[in-house]
Amino acid sequence: MRFHWDWTPLPQQDPVEQLRLRRPLEEHSGGSSEDETLAGIDEAIDRIVCALQSKEPLIIYGDDDPDGICSTYILFDYLQKLGSQHHYYYIRNRLHEPHGLHPGFVEHVRQRGFKLVVTVDGGSSSFEGIARLNELGVDTIITDHHLLPDGLPDAYTMVNPQCEGTPAHLKHLAGAGVVWQLVQRMAEKLQVKPDPAYVIWAAIGTLADKVPLVGYNRTLCQEAIENLFVLADATLKHLFNALYVTCETTSRIHFMQQTYKLLSSGRADNGENIAMSFLLATKVEKGRYFRRLLSGKQIYDEQASRVVEYLRQHPPNPEDAYYLLHDEDDEIPQLLCSFAAAYMTGTQKIPALVIKHRRGVLVCEARSTDGLHLVDAFHACRDMMSDYGGHARAAGFTLLPGRLDEFKERFHRHVEAHRVQIIAHRRIEIDAEVQPKDINDDLLRELNRLKPFGNNNPEPVFIMRDVRGGIVREVFQTDKMLEQGTRYDIVFHLRGDDFLHILDYQEIQ
Ligand SMILES: [Mn+2]
């Protein structure tokens, strides 16, 4: 047993009933009535409409991750639908450009004479960039979902679910969810229908960003999964042919995941991005961009499996309540640092930090459980950092030169002070007890109803108690070798009708 098992048996024996009790679902609509939307959204819309009417050139500034790409695409394409000919986009390339509205982008805006910048999926902490744009007489509308800094930048308006007064079901929107809210509201006001496929792109951005899949995020994803084939646009139809997808819920979700991985392989320079070109290209042209994205994705997939192999061979020290990898030997490619941290946190259920050199400075990507708030932990070390930010469970920082040892020491002390909470979160919450005979279509249907799984809506965990290894092996496939004659309690995810992904087990003496 590696983890603590959180398990209170229920009087119900039927696993479907146990699941319904433990995992009730509430449905949410999009919330388009006056008080049900995000603050600042109407000011943002009025300013954008004003720009469209006066043919003022505007530029959308997005990030190069799938959420940023989907956000940029939805807004850009909708402005296209409105007949605008003066809107552009700029996608940052994180490999060569700093976070936020950086000087290179501000210069881009100045040279081309844009009068309005609309950020998507970012910008909430771009104090300097926005101040500089203000000096140039450029208005900035921020649409974002990241944590708010102390004090706010002097933007024209800000639409961010982290702001006070956001309805509970919209609190966890990703960048693409925020833009989708904006576009739906705009569509109501202007009476110009959005493309029905936007909901799928909003869901793809939401899934990619690993935001909690509760409230409207759930509704959004379920709507997209259910209507994937009905609502598909030319891009999705192209992808149906190129990536394998069936009608099964699992396959549809897998397709959406493959799609966001594809979108993150489009990095280019000068504000361009191949994924954006792919999304906006005509049917005939899509193939060309797709092939470039696909080869990028294949490289990423190969690197990812090498990283997993490396991490398996370098497990955390059993005494430590966290994992810190200073990747001096360059085993983890820059783009996979957050993937590596997420992998470690996911499998070991402890905070994980991956630190490595990038252009002369040390940069960290980190993931955590609910046992340690990363932004608080980094805040406690802020005097050693030139920059830090993110969320409680996903964050990063840039270290000032020569401060690594000092950081390690203070971070270690901070973790020690929170050891009890971290260890308390090294646990598996069990949803239902099953017998081999309970694994049937009813149970699989119930599992599908709960999909997609993600933060705040984890994949259900089952326990099978006192089973002989031989029986399990006869009926199911597993990813752990169980001994024929030994009896076990096993804790697992059910994948399909016959595969048990075993998370933990104990032998019964
Ligand atoms: Mn995002």
**Does a structural domain hold residue 77?**
yes
**Does a structural domain hold residue 242?**
no
Which of 160, 190, 217 lies at the terminal end of a domain, its last residue?
217
**Does a structural domain hold residue 213?**
yes
- Same domain? 486 vs 398: no
- Same domain? 208 vs 328: no
Could you tell me the distance, in angstroms and rounded to a whole number, from the CA of residue 40 to the centre of ligand 1? 19
- Same domain? 46 vs 177: yes
Q: How far apart are CA 492 and CA 509, in angstroms?
A: 20
DSSP state of 34: G
Q: What is the pLDDT along the chain (509 residues), one digit of tens a residue?
A: 889 999 999 998 899 999 999 998 766 555 445 457 899 999 999 999 999 999 999 999 999 999 999 999 999 999 999 999 999 999 999 988 988 999 999 999 999 999 999 999 999 999 999 999 999 999 999 999 998 888 999 999 999 999 999 999 999 999 999 999 999 999 999 999 999 999 999 999 999 999 999 999 999 999 999 999 999 999 999 999 999 899 999 999 999 999 999 999 999 999 999 999 999 999 999 999 999 999 999 999 999 999 999 999 999 998 999 999 999 999 999 989 999 999 999 999 999 999 999 888 999 999 999 999 999 999 999 999 998 888 899 999 999 999 999 999 999 999 999 999 999 999 999 999 999 999 999 999 999 989 999 988 999 999 999 999 999 999 999 988 899 999 999 999 999 889 999 999 999 98
Which of 217, 235, 266 lies at the terminal end of a domain, its last residue?
217
Could you tell me the distance, in angstroms and rounded to a whole number, from the CA of residue 208 to the centre of ligand 1? 8
Could you tell me the distance, in angstroms and rounded to a whole number, from the CA of residue 501 to the centre of ligand 1? 30
**Does a structural domain hold residue 454?**
yes
Could you tell me the distance, in angstroms and rounded to a whole number, from the CA of residue 62 to the centre of ligand 1? 10
Domain limits at 10? 4-23+431-508
**Does a structural domain hold residue 264?**
no
Could you tell me the distance, in angstroms and rounded to a whole number, from the CA of residue 146 to the centre of ligand 1? 7
Could you tell me the distance, in angstroms and rounded to a whole number, from the CA of residue 400 to the centre of ligand 1? 26
- Same domain? 15 vs 38: no
Q: Which residues of 420-454 are buried (b: 16+ CB within 10 A; e: fewer)?
A: eebeebebbebbbbbeeebbeeebbebbeebbbeb
pTM comes to 0.89
Which of 424, 452, 484 lies at the terminal end of a domain, its last residue?
424
Could you tell me the distance, in angstroms and rounded to a whole number, from the CA of residue 370 to the centre of ligand 1? 20
Residue 375: which CATH number? 3.10.310.30
DSSP string computed for 187-238: HHHHT-PPPTTHHHHHHHHHHHTT----THHHHHHHHHHHTHHHH--HHHHH
- The count of domains in the chain is 3
Surrounding residues of ion ligand 1, Cβ less than 5 A: 67, 121, 174-175, 209
User: What type of residue sits at position 165?
Assistant: G
Could you tell me the distance, in angstroms and rounded to a whole number, from the CA of residue 121 to the centre of ligand 1? 5
Could you tell me the distance, in angstroms and rounded to a whole number, from the CA of residue 175 to the centre of ligand 1? 5
- Same domain? 342 vs 382: yes
Could you tell me the distance, in angstroms and rounded to a whole number, from the CA of residue 209 to the centre of ligand 1? 5
Q: Using an 8 Å Cβ cutoff, are 482 and 469 in contact?
A: yes
**Does a structural domain hold residue 267?**
no
- Same domain? 410 vs 467: no
Q: Using an 8 Å Cβ cutoff, are 327 and 336 in contact?
A: no
Could you tell me the distance, in angstroms and rounded to a whole number, from the CA of residue 122 to the centre of ligand 1? 7
- Same domain? 61 vs 156: yes
DSSP state of 439: -
**Does a structural domain hold residue 240?**
no
- Same domain? 57 vs 186: yes
- Same domain? 416 vs 437: no
- Same domain? 85 vs 159: yes
Q: For the chain, how many residues are written?
A: 509
- Same domain? 399 vs 468: no
Could you tell me the distance, in angstroms and rounded to a whole number, from the CA of residue 70 to the centre of ligand 1? 10
**Does a structural domain hold residue 308?**
no
